[in-house]
């Protein structure tokens, strides 16, 4: 396929397929907020509301309003979702719950700060879309709280016994690399640069282990490898997603060395994580090849593959490395052939190792209106940049 064909495909799938699925099926007109537990046809099979996914859907429609089309319906969806979150989403300490009933009553306490991360992301984007200070205030207050709690993300809810095997996790440094760019317009520039510097250093110098060629999910507090289930754990999707985050950061200062390092990590992660028998990327692996403790280790997940596609396409855009393009085509073929549902819309989320649909849901406790629309938007726009680069090169050759 040509760049033009890829652009048309991703744009059409986003605007004519994925977004209508969520607009038509997820909005709770009675209570506010969004239903995310949807069957393949779009029927609601559970009404619990998960703060991560409520926030992510607010972010998605705010982002698309800003970057694709100033569609008033999209902004209304985002603001109504935000209103539900403002009324029901936080406890007395302004920490964001994990889940609510359909009416907005708390179900699961604020047991870590990842709900806060996506709340800050949502309200920062909505503040940019609307210019409203009330949304900006929620975003900055939440971000401040994240920074205060970053050394103990789970607080009193941590199950680890202190002092025996103290580990630091990859998820928060990875998220902060992206989140700080989302909220940059509301922060002091010195704070932005400090968070970016620390985040990038954590990702590429601490959690990335060159002796393995991949990023680990957990490391000792001193940065060493922990030879344990947790310490040997690799989530290829996390590593790949973080690489395009860091590439976006490196692009700000034209840091070609950092971009090259990200591309190399991306390629080595794909080589490590790709299922050479059946295709697709494994969900979890043990870096030493031991049996992982996660029973779902060999499943193929939607978000892992779309994030991988973004990483290799951005890698190709920045470096022209043909290995990135080759991986992109392989990933596109697998993803489009296994996850996309052209009959009922949206994408399946969970496949077995052989690539067969394992769960016929389109949304649930973890899958909502986020990775697929964000991924399609990123792929569409990155492919446009690649096309423009080629046009400029052609023009320069003609005129030289």
pLDDT means over runs of 10, the chain (400 residues): 96 98 98 98 98 98 98 98 98 95 95 93 98 98 93 77 90 94 96 96 97 97 96 98 98 96 98 98 98 97 98 98 98 98 96 98 97 98 95 77
pLDDT of 134 reads: 98
CA distances from 85 to 55, 72, 222, 350, 381 (A): 8, 20, 38, 28, 30
Question: How many angstroms from the chain centroid is the CA of residue 214?
Answer: 18
The pTM for the full model equals 0.96
Phi, psi dihedral angles at 320 (to 5 degrees): 70, 10
User: Of how many residues is the chain composed?
Assistant: 400
Tell me the domain boundaries of the chain: 1-26+168-400, 27-159
pLDDT at position 151 is 80
Question: What tokens were used for 96?
Answer: 């964001």
pLDDT of residue 398: 79
Are the CB atoms for 269 and 257 separated by under 8 Å? no
Q: What pLDDT sits at residue 370?
A: 98
C-alpha–C-alpha distance, residues 120 and 122, integer Å: 6
CA angle 398, 318, 14 (to 5 degrees): 100
Task: Determine contact, residues 223/283, Cβ cutoff 8 Å.
Answer: no
Q: What is the pLDDT of residue 292?
A: 96
Q: How far is CA 122 from CA 86, 113, 140, 143, 384, in A?
A: 12, 14, 11, 11, 26
The answer to whether 1-26+168-400 and 27-159 have equal CATH topology is yes
Specify the 3-state DSSP secondary structure of 375.
Answer: helix
* Helix, strand, or coil (residue 68): coil
Q: What share of the chain is helix, strand, coil (3-state, %, to 5)?
A: 55, 10, 35
E strand or H helix at 136, and its extent?
helix 133-149
How far apart are the C-alpha atoms of 212 and 70, rounded to whole Å?
A: 46
Where residue 247 falls (left for φ over 0; alpha for ψ -120 to 50; beta otherwise) is alpha
State both tokens at 3: 């760049």
CA-wise closest residue to 300 among 334, 333, 267? 334
Residue whose C-alpha is closest to residue 117's, from 75, 55, 169, 185:
55
1-26+168-400 CATH, one of 3.90.550.10, 1.50.10.10, 1.20.810.10, 3.40.1390.10: 1.50.10.10
Residue 226: other Cβ atoms inside 10 A: 18
pLDDT of residue 397: 73
CATH topology of domain 27-159: Glycosyltransferase (1.50.10)
pLDDT confidence of residue 375: 98
């Amino acid at each position: 396929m040509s760049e033009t064909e890829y652009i048309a495909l991703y744009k059409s799938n986003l605007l004519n397929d994925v977004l209508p699925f969520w607009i038509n099926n997820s909005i709770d007109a009675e209570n506010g907020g969004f239903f995310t537990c949807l069957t393949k046809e779009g029927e609601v099979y559970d009404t619990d509301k998960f703060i991560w996914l409520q926030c992510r859907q607010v972010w998605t429609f705010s982002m698309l309003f800003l970057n694709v089309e100033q569609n008033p319906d999209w902004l209304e969806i985002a603001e109504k979702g935000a209103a539900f979150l403002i009324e029901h989403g936080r406890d007395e300490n302004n920490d964001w719950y994990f889940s609510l009933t359909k009416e907005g009553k708390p179900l699961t306490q604020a047991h870590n700060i990842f709900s806060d991360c996506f709340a800050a992301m949502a309200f920062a984007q909505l503040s940019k879309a609307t210019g409203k200070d009330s949304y900006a205030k929620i975003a900055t207050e939440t971000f401040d709280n994240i920074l205060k709690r970053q050394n103990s993300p789970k607080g009193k809810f941590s199950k680890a016994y202190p002092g025996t095997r103290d580990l630091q996790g990859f998820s928060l440094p990875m998220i902060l690399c992206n989140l700080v760019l989302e909220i940059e317009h509301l922060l002091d520039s010195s704070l932005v640069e400090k968070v970016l510097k620390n985040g990038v250093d954590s990702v590429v110098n601490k959690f990335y282990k060159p002796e393995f060629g991949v990023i680990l999910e957990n490391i000792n507090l001193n940065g060493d490898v922990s030879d344990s289930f947790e310490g040997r754990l690799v989530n290829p999707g996390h590593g790949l997603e973080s690489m395009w985050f860091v590439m976006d950061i490196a692009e700000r200062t034209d840091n070609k060395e950092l971009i090259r390092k990200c591309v190399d990590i991306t390629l080595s992660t794909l080589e490590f994580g790709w299922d050479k028998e059946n295709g697709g990327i494994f969900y979890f692996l043990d870096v030493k090849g031991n049996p992982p403790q996660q029973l779902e280790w060999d499943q193929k997940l939607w978000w892992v593959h779309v994030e991988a596609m973004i990483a290799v396409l951005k890698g190709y855009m920045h470096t022209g490395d043909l290995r990135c393009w080759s991986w992109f085509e392989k990933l596109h073929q697998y993803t489009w052939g296994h996850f996309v549902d052209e009959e009922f819309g949206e994408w399946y989320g969970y496949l077995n190792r052989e690539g067969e649909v394992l769960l016929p849901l389109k949304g649930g406790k973890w899958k909502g209106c986020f990775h697929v629309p964000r991924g399609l938007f990123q792929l569409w726009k990155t492919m446009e940049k690649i096309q423009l680069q080629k046009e400029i090169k052609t023009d320069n050759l003609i005129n030289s």
